[in-house]
Structure 1
Amino acid sequence: MPSSIHSHAIQDSLAIYPINPTDFAAVVTLANHVHGNGYLTETALADMLQQGIKQQLAACFLAKIAQRVVGYRISFAAGQWQPDEWCSPLAWPVRVEDMAYFKSVAVHPVVQGQGIGQALLQHSIQVLQQQGAKAGLAHLWCESPHNSAVRYFSKAGGQLINRHENRWQHLSAQGYHCPRCGKVCCCSAAEMVLQFTQ
C-alpha cells in the first residue's frame, strides 16, 4: 500500500461494508499484521461474525480504499457473548444483557490517524443500537504505540472501568506472538465502556 495516500484522498475513496467471506483472508492478514502473528484465523473470524448478527443485522464492518481492505471492526451483539474474568459487570452502567462487546479493530499503519477507526466504530454502534444494545464494552491495548488504542476509544466517549494485567497472556500458549512482548504477552488491557444512551 503506498505511503503517499493523503487524508482527503482517503475520505474520497473510503468505503465501509459488512464483512463477508470473500474478505476473510484480507481481514486475517491485516489483523495479524497489526496485532501479531496468530492473533486471528479465518475459522475464528467466521465464528466472531455470527456473534455480531442479531435480528438479521450485522455489526462487523471493514473499510476499503481502492478495493483494498485497510481496516476492520468486529463487534458482538448484546446477549451474544459471555463476560469473563477480565470483565467487571458490577461496575458497568447497564445490565449485562444490554452490553455489546467491541471485540477487535485494526487499521493498516499506512492510513492510521485518518478517521478510519472512528468511522468503523460509528457504523458498528449504529447497528448495535438497532439490535437493542445500550452500551459497548472493550478491552483496549494499554501498550499500543503512543497509547493510540485507549486514546481512540476515549475520543469516542469511552470511560475507564478497570485495568487488567496480562490480559492476552493465555493466547501465547496457543501460538500468539505479541508484536511488543514476543512469545509471551505481558500487555495490559483497559476495560472501557461506551454508553449509547444516557
Structure 2
Amino acid sequence: MTINYIQLSPAHFEAIIHLGNQVHGDNYLDKSSLLDLYERSWSNNINASWVAVLPTDEKTVSTDTVARNTADGYLIGFRLTVAPDRWTADEWCSPTDWGVPKEQVCYLKCNTVDSAMRGRGVGSTLLKKSIVSSQQQGALAGVAHIWLASPGNSAFAYFTACGGELVKKHPNKWQQHSIEDNYECPVCGALCICTAAEMILRFNKLPS
C-alpha cells in the first residue's frame, strides 16, 4: 500500500474536517478553526502541518470516499502543528515547567489517523515530519494536550513512547469548547469533562 505524505493545504480542509470530527467528535473542527490553525502552521515560509493520503486507486479503507477525496488522494490522517512564534500559552499551559523557552516551543494540536489505518506507522511518520518542519522554524520542543479518555489511554501511551513527558493534568480541558462551539465529546457527549495531559516532547531527547 502506497502512503504519500504532503504538507497541509486548503485543498485538504474538507477531508480533514470530516475525519477530525469523525474521530474526535462533532464540531471538533470547522472551516474557521482549521483556517486559523493552517495560517499559524507557517513561519519562515515553512509549513509544520502534514497530511497522509492514499492514491485514489488504493482508497479501500472506508466507504467515506466523497468526503475524504482530495486532489492529492484519499485522506487517511493529518497532523496539525502550530509554529513556535504563532501561539500563546494559556491557562492550560505551564511554560515555567517546560525547561525550554516558550518562543522555541511549537504546539502539537492533534494527530489523527483513520481507525482502519492505525498500526501502519502513519501517526509516527506525520509526527516526525512535523518535528522536522518545526525545527526548521526554530523549535526545540513541542507541547501537546493529550486526551486521557482515549480508548485504553492509547494516546498517552503513544505520545510517551514517542518521548513525551508529562507536565501536568488539566481536568475539563475541552469543556469551554463544548459550551461555546457545540463540541460533542465522543465520551462525555454535549458537555466534555475529560482531562488533558499537558506533555512536552523535547526534540533533543527523541527515541532513536
Pick the TM interval, shorter chain: over 0.9
**Aligned counterpart in structure 2 of residue 176 of structure 1, from 183, 195, 202:** 183
Match of 1:90 in 2: 96
Matched-pair contact (CA < 8 Å) for 1:165–1:186: yes
Looking at structure 2, the residues matched to 43 and 16 of structure 1 have their Cα atoms a distance apart, in angstroms, of 24
**Aligned counterpart in structure 2 of residue 50 of structure 1, from 32, 39, 43:** 39
* 1:19 lines up with 2:8 in the alignment: yes
**Aligned counterpart in structure 2 of residue 75 of structure 1, from 76, 81, 99:** 81
* 1:128 lines up with 2:117 in the alignment: no
Match of 2:195 in 1: 188
Match of 1:39 in 2: 28
Looking at structure 2, the residues matched to 139 and 187 of structure 1 have their Cα atoms a distance apart, in angstroms, of 11
* 1:105 lines up with 2:111 in the alignment: yes
Matched-pair contact (CA < 8 Å) for 2:8–2:50: yes
Matched-pair contact (CA < 8 Å) for 2:112–2:123: yes
> Shift in Å at residue 151 of structure 1?
1.3
> Shift in Å at residue 155 of structure 1?
1.2
Match of 1:4 in 2: none
- Give the letter aligned to residue 32 of structure 1: N
- Report how many aligned residue pairs link the two structures: 187
RMSD: 0.9
SS of equivalent to 2:85? coil
Give the TM-score normalised by the residue count of structure 2: 0.88
> Shift in Å at residue 197 of structure 1?
2.4
- Give the letter aligned to residue 123 of structure 1: K
- Give the letter aligned to residue 159 of structure 2: F
